[in-house]
Amino acid sequence: MAKKQVGAKKPERYELGRVHDRITFLYLEHAKLNRRDSAIQVLDDRGIVYVPAAMLSVLMLGPGVDVTHRAMELIGEAGLGVVWVGEQGVRQYAYGRPLNHSSTLLVAQAKLVSNQRSRVKVAREMYQMRFPDDDVSQLTMQQLRGKEGARVRQVYLDQSLKTGVAWSRRDYNPDNFESGTPINKALTAAHQALYGLSYSVISALGASPGLGFVHTGHDLSFVYDFADLYKAEFSIPVAFSVTEKYGDDSDIGSKVRLAMRDVFVESKLLVRMVKDLKALLGISEDDSEVDMVSLWDDRLGLQKFGVQYHELQKEDSR
One-letter identity of residue 312: L
Q: How many CB atoms lie within 10 A of CB 102?
A: 18
**C-alpha–C-alpha distance, residues 133 and 318, integer Å:** 67
Annotated binding site for Mn(2+): 148, 215, 228
**C-alpha–C-alpha distance, residues 199 and 222, integer Å:** 9
Rounded (10°) CA dihedral 275, 279, 282, 288? 0
Annotated binding site: 148, 215, 228
Reduce the secondary structure of the chain to three states and give it as a string.
Answer: CCCCCCCCCCCCHHHCCCHHHCEEEEEECCCEEEEECCEEEEEECCEEEEEEHHHEEEEEECCCCEECHHHHHHHHHCCCEEEEECHHHCCEEEECCCCCCCCHHHHHHHHHHCCHHHHHHHHHHHHHHHCCCCCCCCCCHHHHHHHHHHHHHHHHHHHHHHHCCCCCCCCCCCCCHHHCCHHHHHHHHHHHHHHHHHHHHHHHCCCCCCCCCCCCCCCCHHHHHHHCCCCCCCHHHHHHHHHHHHCCCCCHHHHHHHHHHHHHHHHCHHHHHHHHHHHHCCCCCCHHHCCCCEECCCCCCCEECCCCHHHHHHHHHC
